Each structure stands twice: as structure tokens, then as C-alpha cells.
Amino acid sequence: MDKGIDPRDHCRDAASWLKLIRRHLKRQGADRFRDGFQFREISFAEMGSLHGQVPPLFAADIPLELLESIGRLVEGRVLSYDEIRSFWEQGDVENPIPLRDLLQICALAGKLEIKPGIASLLDDYRVCSRCGERHQLERIHCPLCGRPSCAVCLACRSLGEVRSCRELYYGRVWEEPDIRKVYPDLRPQLHFQLSRAQAEAAAEFKRYVERWLGYYCGAERQGDDLPENTPQGHTSWGGEKAGGKGAGESLGFAQPWNSWAAAACGQAAAEGSANSCLVWAVCGAGKTEIAFEGLALAVGAGLKAVFAVPRRDVVVEVAERAQAAFPQISVTALYSGAEHPKSLGQLVVATTHQLIRFSGYFDLAILDEADAFPYAGSAVLHRALGRAVKPCGLKVYMTATPVPAMIQAARRGKVHLITVPVRHHGYPVPVPQVILCRQHLVPKQRRDSTARGGYRGRFSDLNLPPQFWLKLKESLAAGSRVFVFVPRIWLVEAVAGEIRGCPELAGVPVFAAHSRNPKRDRHRELFQKTAPSVMVATSILERGITVPKADVIVAYAHDDLYDARALIQMAGRSGRDASYPTGKVYFIAAAETKAIRWAVECLQEINEDARRRGLLVPGTQGEHCCTRAIGNVIV
């Protein structure tokens, strides 16, 4: 055997196969029956006739409809066999070939790639082929393969189990520019008028997408710039150009669309055109509608786009808004618990976890609330977003609180930056008033604090200063709804109980919301309908809720659980409604932390930017003085 040949290549010819079979039989003790064996070469047709049928192993015998169906099903996706079978059974294509055999034929033709669910490159090194996780892998006694140490990935288990003994199918993207469905007149149909700040941001985002499309689709427009081995015509699934001979005459497939995109990536990189964009918009600025103009350009050009959000409850809302804005196209919503369609629409709205099921499928990805849980801090979801988008595809991050690394990348020109420093009503964002009280420390949890009925003790045990009660009563007297944020779950019921027990606030509805409260959705609905009222909550309500005439009090704002981004998001619940744009925000803390200073300075800088650009309503100012208190004396 030649040293330059892989040891596994000796299995290519029939003689080597016969040698391996004899060796295997000898190991199994079957060599004593060697007189009854006859080794000879037979053809595929003869082998099939022994079982009563001839396997269709040649392209001429495989219905083209099957190849097209399986190709469209797995294109750009990462699916298990059970998922493919479930999707396949939804269709009406008759399949005379076993599904596993059909998948194997497609793999041999280069249409898809088969990988083990858990790849084991080394003895002590395992990695999930779906999500890339290396640490959250559990070894179990597998009832499927019988092995005592079969690995199961826990990181993506919610999407279905991935095991070492089960395969994953990576579908390749084969769509070409000539066969994409385009919508040249696609425009978003909005039922409201964009504000000036929104319109400027939407126009800038549209111009940026136009420049990116020029690089991304430039290779297909200029045939002379394509690589010499890139096909110029429309190649069908069977490998023949449109109008040619029968498509089933060969198993050749078209070159992937990535070859066109890659031809233009070098030019884009050379000219410094970033394929990442950061839309930095204040809370309540209407980021979703800002992206619709750019989405219309990409989807109108026949590209695939995804609008990803970290939370499941937002997917349905965004999908409905997108479908209303683009009635000409199909919008697909993907989230846990929803029925996954066999085919996807031109625009996909999905949770970030659903991106784990894709590989190089999307040309454009927009991630809303990029700083929110569970995307923030999750290496698995970061990898999923990067893999779901094609190598030269465009990634757009929309957030009110970008991480410092993203801001630094924007300053270096590696990420295109678009800012929306004002809300739709044109008033400055309320800047928090910081109230310092040295006695306002997070209390220790009492044993009876989780008992039915809430916290048992005096309000002084909670270290709530007089300024807390003063600001709360002022807001309620003005008819406002008040958010009271606390850093611990057990503090929610404790503080809510103290507010209910205050004689001066008798009759004021007090609601509670935290992750362990099964009635939190009902309480949120009642809070939105009742004024004045109080909602005591953890940071679970820092996003995704808008109520009219709302003020915010952040108690124990110095706690380590509150970083600057969380403080900004909680402050962003105030002043969102046009009827009450000048809401009040209070940070009550025992000490002024770095996070508090950063949050206040960031909001002041945003308002100053809006003032310089002339985006604020005349007569308003983009700054707010901070009130500080030490002990019980305001200074």
C-alpha cells in the first residue's frame, strides 16, 4: 500500500472487500464453514434480483421529483433523520425508495453531508455536530445502540436529542441567482407614519443594504467576473441546463450559490465594506419597522432573510407585523411548540434557538434585542447565528444597549453603525434621578419570606428609605402606573406586601411578576388596564412591555445583578407613550456604582446626540440633572 494513500482507501475495489469479509468471518469463527461459502463478484442488478427487486442506483432510475423534493427539504438545514421523516410525511410525493437510501444517494451525489450527531475526533474530545457544544455532553447507557457510554448533548436537547449513535444531515445550498423568485416592486406597507428619526434611520439602513447588495450580487450581474468553472446558465437538480436533455441522465448538481457570493467578497473586504451592522436605538424607538426597508430590498432581490429574536413570545407579534407589511410574500414563524412547515417562506421570523437548525441558509439575518437573554452570554447561540448566515451574508444587530465590544468595533469601522437617539414622539429619554441612601441595603432573606402571604416582618426590615415612599406616593397621586424593580425573586412578594400594607396606599392595586409566578401574564394585563397601580417585578419585565403613563423606581440599584444594560432597559419602561413622554425614573441605591454612572451618562449622551441632530421636539432639553441623597438629606 502506498504511503501517500489513506488506509481506508484500500476498500475501494472488490478484492479488498472480499479480503475484509474473509477476515471478519474468521474472527467470528465462521471459517470452519468455509466449504459452504462461494466468493464471487456480482453486479448491483444481480444483487437486487436476489431480493426480488432491482435497486434504483442509477440516476436514470431515480425520479427527478424525489431528488428535487429531498433537496428542497434539507437545503441549508441541519436535521436529524426523525425530523426529515416528519417533514417528508407531510408531503404528497410518492417515494418507492426507502428514505435512508434516498438520503444516502443524495449524500453520494454531494447534495447533502452526513455527520455523526456527536463527533469524537479524539478519545477525550467530543463536540455536538449541531450546536458545537463541547462541555454539556452526558454519557449514558443508550437504549438505541446498546453502548454504555453514548454521548448526548444537553445544550440543544430542547430541539430534540442528538446522540453519538445517530446521524445529522447537513443540506447544502444549491439555489442559483437565475432561479430565485424576485419581487422587484416589494415595498413595506405601514399603517402609520414613521417619525423623523425612524425615517432617517430607515433610509440610512436602506442605503447600506443597497451597497452590500452591490458587492454580494455583483458577481451574478457581471458574468465576465465569475470564476471560469462557474456555470453561467440555469442548472437543474439533475445536472443538465434548462432546455437540455433529460434531467435524470446524471447525478451532477449545480454549483452552490456561495460561489457567486465568494467571488464578490474579496472586493468588499478590500474596500472596507463591513458585512455587519449595528442599529443602536433607544428603548421604544420602533426598531422593527426601521429594518423593513432594508428587508424589502433583500427579499425583493430573491435573497433569504431571517428576523431573529431571543424570546418566543415576541416571534408571533413580529411575524404578524411583518406579514401585514409584506402581504406579497410568505412569512414563516419558527419557535418551540409551533408546527414547523416543510417549506419556508421568503422571510423567516424565529427564536435564536431555531437558528441551530440552519447552516449557510440565510443571506441576511437581523437579530433584535441582541443583548437580551438567552442570546447574550450564550456561545451556542452566537455560533448558531454565525453558521446560519452565508459566509458573505449580512448580519444586523438591533439593540438599545450594545456591548462595549460592539461599540468599539463600530468605532474601528468593522461594524456599520446606525443610531436612533429619540423615540417616535420626539421627547428626550427620561434620565434617572439617583437617590443615595446608605441604609438601603439588600436585606437578608427570612425563613418565612417564601411562606404563603409573602414576607413576614416590618417594612424597616427591607431597608426602604423615606424617599422610596415619597416618590411612590407622588407618582400614584399623579395617576401614573409605577414599576418597582427589585433584584431578587423573594423580594418581589416582600416589597409588594409592604406596599399593600401601607395605610396611605390602601385601595391601590399592587401586582407582582417574576419567573416563578404562574399568574404573571394575568397580572401584566391587569397592570396595563389599571391606573394608578403598582407592579413589583424582577428584571423579567425589563423588556417587551409598554404601558401608558408609567414611572419607574429601581430599588437596590447598586446590587451586583444590575449591570448598566439592565438599568437602561428598566429605565426604558418610562416615557414610551406619546400621552406621557416625560416619565420619571428613580435609581435608589446605597452607593453609586460604575453601572449606575454608566447608565446615566449613556442616556444623557443619547439625548445630547438627539439635540445636536435636531430630532427633539422644540422646547425640550436633552439633559436631566441627577438628584442624589445621602442618608435622609437630599443634596
**How many helices (H) and strands (E) are present in the chain, helices listed first?**
18, 22
User: Of 85-94, 148-157, 367-376, 538-547, which range is least confident?
Assistant: 538-547
Q: Residue 246: what residue type?
A: G
Q: What is the mean pLDDT of residues 472-490?
A: 92
Place 534 in a pLDDT band, splitting at 50, 70 and 90.
very high
Nearest-angstrom CA–CA distance, 624 and 604: 7
Q: Cell 424576485 sits at which residue?
A: 182
Same domain, 267 and 295: yes
The residue with greater pLDDT, 242 or 109, is 109
336 in any annotated domain: yes
Confidence of residue 224 (pLDDT cuts 50, 70, 90): very low
pLDDT bracket for residue 334 (50, 70, 90):
very high
Tell whether 455 and 402 lie within a shared domain. no
Among 49-63, 162-176, 236-250, name the one with the lowest average pLDDT. 236-250
Chain position carrying cell 465590544: 405
User: pLDDT per residue over 338-377, tens digit each?
Assistant: 777 777 888 999 999 999 999 999 999 999 887 766 677 7
Number of domains the chain contains: 4
Identify the pLDDT of residue 41.
57
Do residues 475 and 352 both lie within one domain? no
Mean pLDDT, range 400-429, rounded to an integer: 88
Predicted local confidence at residue 179, as pLDDT: 62
162 and 205 share one domain: no
Q: Within this chain, do residues 513 and 596 fall inside the same structural domain, yes or no?
A: yes
135 and 35 in a single domain? The answer is no
Say if 238 falls within a structural domain: no
Which amino acid is present at 542?
Answer: E
C-alpha cell recorded at residue 173: 445550498
State whether 440 and 416 are in the same domain.
no
Residues 388 and 478 in one domain: no
Q: Is residue 293 part of a domain?
A: yes
Instruction: Name the strands in the sheet holding 533-537, side by side, starting at the edge strand that comes first in the sequence.
Output: 433-436, 585-589, 550-554, 481-485, 533-537, 510-513
Residue 492 forms part of a structural domain: yes
DSSP states of 522-549 as a string?
Answer: HHHHHHHH-SSEEEEE-GGGSSS---SS
Does 598 lie in the same domain as 552? yes
Range of the domain at 14: 9-41
What secondary structure does DSSP assign to 439-460, as a single string? T-PPPPPPGGGGSTTS--S-GG
Paired residues of 416 in beta bridges: 277
Question: C-alpha cell of 48?
Answer: 437486487
Choosing from 156, 171, 186, the residue where a domain stops is 171
pLDDT at 248: 33
**Does residue 244 lie within any of the structural domains?**
no
pLDDT in tens, 171-201: 888 656 556 788 888 898 888 888 889 999 9
- Range with the poorest average pLDDT among 244-248, 389-393, 455-459, 619-623: 244-248
Q: What CATH number is given to the structural domain containing 482?
A: 3.40.50.300
396, 420, 444: which is the final residue of a domain? 420
Do both 140 and 217 map to the same domain?
no
Domain contains 97: no
The answer to whether residue 246 is domain-embedded is: no
For 56-95, how does the pLDDT look when each residue is reduced to its tens digit (9 = 90+)? Answer: 444 456 677 777 778 888 888 999 999 888 888 876 666 7
Q: Among 51-60, 63-72, 249-258, 285-294, whose mean pLDDT is lowest?
A: 249-258
Mark which of 397, 420, 443 sits at the end of a domain.
420
User: pLDDT tens for residues 445-476?
Assistant: 755 444 444 444 444 478 889 999 999 999 99
- Name the more confident of 71 and 559: 559
For 135, counting Cβ atoms within 10 Å of its Cβ (0-12 exposed, 13-18 middle, 19+ buried), the class is exposed
What type of residue sits at position 616?
L
Three cell numbers at 139?
454519557
Residue 49 lies in a domain: no
409 and 439 inside one domain: no
Same domain, 415 and 542: no
